[in-house]
Amino acid sequence: MIINQTIGNLSENPSAKNIDYLDLEWFETSKRIQRKKTRLGTDIAIKFLREGQCLREGDILFEDQENIIAVNVLETEAIVMSPDSLLEMGTVCYEIGNKHIPLFIQEDKVLLPFEMPMFRWLEASGFKPEKQTVKLLNLLKSNVEPHGHGSLGSSIFNKILKMAAPKDE
């Protein structure tokens, strides 16, 4: 079975039909071409034509009169942080993004795939990371614009600091 697009999401259209899940790791949700098997053994070939299209938890890939095939994102080990302020949120997101590590924002928490060196670095930097097993669902998509370093211009980090600084009255 070849899948070129999603046809809905279980969260939008709950159904009493039989549901067969296609289990995917978080990093597989953005792959444009892949071959997988559902839990019940149906062969699936995914071939998305649009760049940047990602599969989401509950996306419906196939539906007929009796059955649905939907996406299930598997749980994985992750670093989870609950920043105490907007300044801490901006700082931690900037530092993680500066290392080009995928970043997720879910329920006012910052999440990233678990890597021990990053976990130790976050601890040493004064953040309070926790190791948890979670579903990484909301990948932060960003397009990095050209920006200056050093004397070439104000960094994005400085702009975040200015936004989060208390206003003098």
Residues 61 and 135 in one domain: no
Whether 123 shows a pLDDT value over 70: the answer reads yes
The per-residue pLDDT for range 61-114, each reduced to its tens digit, is: 999 888 999 999 999 999 999 988 888 888 888 888 888 888 899 988 999 999
Residues 112 and 96 in one domain: yes
Whether 26 shows a pLDDT value over 70: the answer reads yes
SS (H, E, C) the chain: CEECCCCCECCCCCCCCEEEEEEECHHHHHCCEEEEECCCCCEEEEECCCCCCCCCCCEEEEECCCEEEEEEECCEEEEEECCCCHHHHHHHHHHHHHCCCCCEEECCEEEEECCHHHHHHHHHCCCCCEEEEECCCCECCCCCCCCCCHHHCCCHHHHHHHHHCCCCC
Question: Model pTM greater than 0.85?
Answer: no
Residues 66 and 105 in one domain: no
Give the CATH number, domain containing residue 68: 2.60.260.20
**Residue where one domain finishes, among candidates 73, 107, 136:** 73
Which domain does 61 fall in, by range? Answer: 2-73
